[in-house]
Amino acid sequence: MSKKKPPVVDQRPYSRLVVDGAKQAPSRAMLRAVGFTEADFKKPQIGVASTWANLTPCNVHINALAEHAVSGANAAGGKGVLFNTITVSDGISMGSPGMRYSLVSREVIADSIETVVGAEGFDGIIAIGGCDKNMPGCAMAIARLNRPAVFVYGGTIRPGAERRDIVAVFEAVGGHAAGSVSDAQLLEIERTAIPGPGSCGGMYTANTMASAIEALGLSLPGSSAQEAVGQNKRIDSRLAGEAVVRLVKSGITPRQILTRKAFENAVTVTIALSGSTNAVLHLLAMAHEAGVRLSLDDFSRIGKRVPVLADLRPSGKYLMSELIEIGGIQPLMRRLLARGLLHGECLTVTGESIATNLSAVQDYPAAQEIIRNFDNPIKSKSHLVVLYGNLAPEGAVAKISGKEGISFTGRARVFNGEERATAAILAGKVKAGDVVVIRYEGPCGGPGMREMLSPTSAIMGLGLGNSVALITDGRFSGGSHGFVVGHIAPEAAVGGPLALLHNGDRITIDATKCTINVQLTAAELRARRKLWRAPKPYTNTGVLAKYARSVSSASLGAITK
The amino acid at residue 158 is R
Q: Is-contact 181 175, C-beta < 8 A? A: yes
Backbone angles phi, psi at 292, to 5 degrees: -105, 135
The C-alpha atoms of residue 373 and residue 392 are separated, in whole angstroms, by 35
The amino acid at residue 316 is G
The amino acid at residue 330 is Q
Bridge partner list, 472:
438
Strand ranges of the sheet holding 79-84, from the earlier edge strand across to the other edge: 79-84, 45-50, 124-129, 149-153
Bridge partner list, 504:
none
Residues annotated as catalytic (active site), given as ranges? 477
* DSSP conformation letters of 101-127: HHHHHHHHHHHHHHHHHHHHT-SEEEE
The C-alpha atoms of residue 504 and residue 108 are separated, in whole angstroms, by 40
Burial of 304 (0-12, 13-18, 19+ CB in 10 A): exposed
Torsion angle of C-alpha atoms 508, 512, 513, 519, degrees rounded to 10: -10
The C-alpha atoms of residue 336 and residue 498 are separated, in whole angstroms, by 38
Backbone angles phi, psi at 353, to 5 degrees: -80, 165
- Name the helix (H) or strand (E) containing 92: helix 90-93
Nearest residue to 368 (alpha-carbon basis) of 326, 430, 402: 326
The amino acid at residue 147 is R
Neighbours of 522 (CB within 10 A): 8
The amino acid at residue 490 is P
Neighbours of 71 (CB within 10 A): 16
Q: Is-contact 212 478, C-beta < 8 A? A: no
Going by the DSSP 8-state scheme, the letter that residue 46 receives in this structure is E
* SS3 of 489-540: ECCHHHCCHHHHCCCCCEEEEECCCCEEEECCCHHHHHHHHHHCCCCCCCCC
Backbone angles phi, psi at 197, to 5 degrees: -65, 155
Bridge partner list, 45:
79
